[in-house]
Structure 1
Amino acid sequence: MIIDTLNNATTYQSLHPGFKTAFDYLRATDLNSLETGIIEVAEGVKIIVAEGEARSAEAALKTFECHNKNIDIQLLIGGVETMGWKPRKDCSNVQGDGYSDENDILFFEEEADTFFTLHPMQFVIFYPEDVHAPMIGEGLIKKLVVKVAI
């Protein structure tokens, strides 16, 4: 997991070929004007523009998630968002039917090891080994979830 601001994004571009594409798009776009939906940026890089009411930590941990095929870059646009995190290697209580290949998601029933808070123009990068619970807080949250194919 990496947490930083969009101003420092170039620091991470060499970590994955799709990161430069993603961060170039984010820096060149009026992010506040984006409407909810999916934007196909390039092969292997898409952005989900999401807006919704924040939820309690208890509710968010019911969808404590990770992915196998994508790295998430979650960039906060509006509001204040807290997220829970735990290393996947420490998670054993798989929720439901297990991994969904179609949706590239696996849910766990676990407690977070730590919580952190993002403010506008801050991002977090979640790798497959990062189990995360987003959208914790109060009020409206607007964010981008960049899916970078592995």
Structure 2
Amino acid sequence: MIYGRLENVAAEAATLPENILEGLKFLERTDLAALPEGKVEIDGDRMFALVQDYTTKPKDTVRPEAHKRYIDIQYVALGREQIGIAPLAKVSEIAEDLLEDKDVCFYSNAPEESMILLSTGGYTVFYPWDVHRPGCSADAESVVRKIVVKIAL
């Protein structure tokens, strides 16, 4: 997992993997407020973005998830949310396995989960070994505009 702010990408560029940097540069150069909800093509199936507008929910109503074929850069363009993070190696109880069709597996719980607060301008990078629980309310519900850049492994 990587945690950062888009405003610091230039300073961190030398420390980031090339594919992650490419995804962050897409976020930097794009008018994110003007994007419609849904899928935005960047480079075919190798890299694309999902634009999401939603209201955060209580943590206990959001299922932890992980992906197998894609890395996620989750960027909060507007609002604030908490995201849970836990090691996949500690999670065992699968609630719903959609890896084959939709590259997502949902889990019933996330032992050793830590919570991260993301506000406008913040991003996280989740790898396939990172179980994450996005869209959780912090102090109260928040309207969020999130862009998830999906990067094929």
TM-score, normalised to structure 1, is: 0.90
The residue number in structure 2 matching 1:149 is 152
Deviates more, 1:18-27 or 1:128-137: 18-27
The equivalences for 1:111-130 within 5 A come to: 111=110, 113-130=113-130
Q: Is the contact made by 2:53 and 2:144 (CA closer than 8 Å) also made in structure 1? A: yes
How far apart are the structure 2 equivalents of 1:21 and 1:118? 21
Q: What runs of 5+ residues in structure 2 fail to find an aligned partner?
A: none
Partner SS state of residue 95, structure 1: strand
How far apart are the structure 1 equivalents of 2:8 and 2:142? 27
Q: What runs of 5+ residues in structure 1 fail to find an aligned partner?
A: none
How far apart are the structure 1 equivalents of 2:67 and 2:85? 13
The residue number in structure 1 matching 2:109 is 110
CA-to-aligned-CA distance 1:17-58 (integer Å, 9 cap, x gap): 422321221111112222211111014110000001111100
Aligned residues: 147
Structure 1 stretches of at least 4 aligned residues deviating more than 6 Å after TM superposition: none
How far apart are the structure 1 equivalents of 2:105 and 2:68? 8
The equivalences for 1:68-107 within 5 A come to: 68-96=68-96, 98-107=97-106
Partner SS state of residue 99, structure 2: coil
Partner SS state of residue 100, structure 2: coil
CA-to-aligned-CA distance 1:61-104 (integer Å, 9 cap, x gap): xx2100010000000011111011110000011113x3521201
The residue number in structure 2 matching 1:38 is 39
Q: Is the contact made by 1:99 and 1:105 (CA closer than 8 Å) also made in structure 2? A: yes
Superposition RMSD in Å: 1.7
Q: Quick one: structure 1 residues 20 and 134, their matched pair in 2 at CA, closer, same or farther if it must change by over 3 Å? A: same
How far apart are the structure 1 equivalents of 2:9 and 2:19? 13
Q: Quick one: structure 1 residues 22 and 13, their matched pair in 2 at CA, closer, same or farther if it must change by over 3 Å? A: farther
Q: Quick one: structure 1 residues 4 and 87, their matched pair in 2 at CA, closer, same or farther if it must change by over 3 Å? A: same
Match for 1:148: what amino acid?
Answer: I
Q: Is the contact made by 1:68 and 1:104 (CA closer than 8 Å) also made in structure 2? A: yes
Check if 1:57 corresponds to 2:56: no
Percent identity over paired residues: 27
